[in-house]
Amino acid sequence: MKTSIPTNPPTPTHYRGTVIALHWIMFGLLIAVFASIELRVLFEKGTEPREMIKTVHFMLGLVVLALVLLRAANRVLSPQPKPAHIPGGPWIKGMAQLAHIGLYAVMIGMPLLGWLSLSAAGKPIPFLGFELPALMVPDKDLSKQIKGLHETLGVASYWLIGLHITAALGHQWILKDKLIERMSLRHLRSA
């Protein structure tokens, strides 16, 4: 009688379909979040179109918050592909990890700061036809400070996202190490 020894499943070479789908959905959402706030300047302050586009910005930001929390949980609970070989030594790998932590921090922190800013300003927090509860009592001065931090992190977000995209494209076209393949939409079909 032959017995088999249980083995660990092989380490995947790419991310699971749910992780890939969330990555690209969030990419599209982040474009929409940033576009909505940048496009508000096309409309005069206090006008209905400007207020509508700001509301879209608030709601999309909250969707990003919900999805990034789901994504973080999924990432912790899902098997991860083998760590990528990143040339240049441990400091480069450390910088890559720091950039990913920064991206998650921004995707969590920005919507929370927006929610706090609206709360401190005493404004409603609209979300898909509902009004979310305020996270703090109104405080106009604090609202301005939080809004300033939110805007500063917004600028930092552009840089972090740009760095992330530049690194991914550098892996694809300069290093030609197929790192970007791990997050390819092609794997959604096999998921």
Give which of 108, 99, 106, 36 is closest to 67, Cα–Cα: 108
Q: With cut-offs at 50, 70 and 90, classify the pLDDT of residue 10.
A: low
- Greater confidence (128 vs 123) lies with 123
- Domain coordinates in residue numbering, the chain: 17-178
For the chain, give the mean pLDDT.
88
From the centroid of its chain, how far is CA 120? 24
DSSP bridge partners of 186 = none
Contacts for 26 with CB less than 8 Å, ≥ 6 apart: 64, 67, 68, 71, 107
- Greater confidence (182 vs 146) lies with 146
Residue 25's pLDDT is 95
Q: With cut-offs at 50, 70 and 90, classify the pLDDT of residue 8.
A: low
pLDDT single digits (tens) 25-77: 999 999 999 999 999 999 999 999 999 999 999 999 999 999 999 999 987 88
Q: Say whether pTM exceeds 0.75.
A: yes
Q: What is the length of the chain?
A: 191
